Amino acid sequence: MQEVNHVAATETTFDGVRVRFDSDRTVPELYDALLADVGTHPVPINDIAAQHADWASYEHAVEQYVGPHGFMLFATFDHGAWIGKAGIDRRVLRVIVGNPLIAITMLRHDITAGLFAPVELLLTEEDGDRSALTYVRPSSLMVVEPNPPLLEAALALDEKLAAMAESVTAG
């Protein structure tokens, strides 16, 4: 008979805070405004890391991709391209944005904060030609135990993200 080792899992319960910015822009207009801020092409941060031997040179290389609110594009997923097949007729885009230079300010204090960096945004079509940008406040996901330095860094990220969301949804 084969012996099976079971590894005990630990669970931590926490509350995430969902933030929504409504916009008079259409989803394509909102997406264009977001891309104008974070860039139009995903940044290959791992490829950049492979080309630089130390943090200072990596940091310098990454800085050129940072948008006006401190973020860059990592990936997009067009849920609207497939949900119509299930009878849901709405535009829905999931956009991953972040900045390793911001992420390191949190990962230095708790490496598991990397579970929620980069940040996920959801752009949704609402009634009429309106849209919304929704995300979960990063600090509500990252800081699940007392950790003042992590909280300080995560709150700074919250502020940057809210400023970008407010800017791109205005119009």
Q: How far apart are CA 118 and CA 111, in angstroms?
A: 13
The pLDDT, as a whole number, for residue 1 is 67
**pLDDT tens, residue order, the chain (171 aa):** 677 777 899 898 889 999 999 999 999 999 999 999 999 999 999 999 999 999 999 999 999 999 999 999 999 999 999 999 999 999 999 999 999 999 999 999 999 999 999 999 999 999 878 999 999 999 999 999 999 999 999 999 999 999 999 999 997
Q: Which domains does the chain have, with CATH numbers?
A: 18-169 (3.30.310.70)
3-state SS assignment for residue 58: helix
Q: How far apart are CA 14 and CA 23, in angstroms?
A: 29
The pLDDT, as a whole number, for residue 128 is 78
Global pTM value: 0.91
Q: Specify the DSSP element, H or E, that contains 97.
A: strand 92-98
Residue type for position 53: A
The pLDDT, as a whole number, for residue 130 is 95
Output the DSSP codes for 106-143: HHTT-GGGGGG-SEEEEEEE-STT-EEEEEE-HHHHH-
Residue type for position 40: T
Q: How far apart are CA 101 and CA 55, in angstroms?
A: 10
Q: How far apart are CA 48 and CA 104, in angstroms?
A: 16
Half-sphere exposure of 63 (CA within 13 A, CB side): 6
The pLDDT, as a whole number, for residue 5 is 74
Residues in the chain: 171
Are 117 and 98 contacting, i.e. CB atoms less than 8 angstroms apart?
yes
